[in-house]
Amino acid sequence: MELIDIIGFIAGICTATSLLPQLITTLKQKKAQEVSLFMFIVLLMGNALWIWFGVAKSELPIILTNSFSLLLNIIMLVLKYKYKDNE
Amino acid sequence: MELIDIIGFIAGICTATSLLPQLITTLKQKKAQEVSLFMFIVLLMGNALWIWFGVAKSELPIILTNSFSLLLNIIMLVLKYKYKDNE
């Protein structure tokens, strides 16, 4: 593995973990009204397209980062639905 | 420009614009306490590393997306400092 791929992985960890605080807050407060459903769908689409881009370019850092973000965003979407009555 | 690069640009627009709602909310409410300073610095570091990755791999979609995100995050950091007394 080249240095630049390690750079890509670290970048991915930084940007993907930025979703965690919001996920944790949502779990604690059992509320998810700050973020709009539309924004989540846009984010999910972006993650999916980045995965397509990463696969086409064989760039593992992009694939793994966006797969992890996609997973976190799907969990947020489920929580947003689960807690919709608490909003 | 190949199809896959267009896919990358669309992915970038989707994921970068996801920062906008929070920026707009911060400007409206003149408050930025929801997001921690630490998380912003992690995000900025991630954007900067992705730009480095994009330049090394000559991937324009990655460079432009993360430059735009870096700009939005710097604005958020300035707002967070500017409105720190409102928290």
Q: pLDDT for A23-49, tens place per residue?
A: 888 888 888 776 678 888 888 999 999
Nearest C-alpha neighbor of B25 from the set B80, B84, B69, B70 = B80
With contacts defined as CB-CB under 8 Å, which chain A residues touch B10?
Answer: 46, 49
User: ipTM score of the complex?
Assistant: 0.83
With contacts defined as CB-CB under 8 Å, which chain B residues touch A59?
Answer: 57, 59
The per-residue pLDDT for B50 is 95
With an 8 Å Cβ cutoff, is B19 touching chain A? no
CATH class of B3-86: mainly alpha
Instruction: Please report, for chain B, the start and end positions of each structural domain, with discontinuous segments joined by +.
Output: 3-86
Specify whether the CB–CB gap between B83 and B34 falls below 8 A. no
Largest CA distance in chain B: 49
The per-residue pLDDT for B17 is 87
| Proportion of chain A above pLDDT 70, given as a percent | 95
Nearest C-alpha neighbor of A7 from the set B5, B14, B66 = B66
Burial-class residue B26 by CB neighbours within 10 Å (0-12, 13-18, 19+): buried
Instruction: Name the band, by pLDDT with cuts 50, 70 and 90, for residue B31.
Output: confident
Instruction: Name the band, by pLDDT with cuts 50, 70 and 90, for residue B35.
Output: low
The per-residue pLDDT for A67 is 95
Q: Do A47 and B15 touch (CB under 8 A)?
A: yes
The per-residue pLDDT for A35 is 67
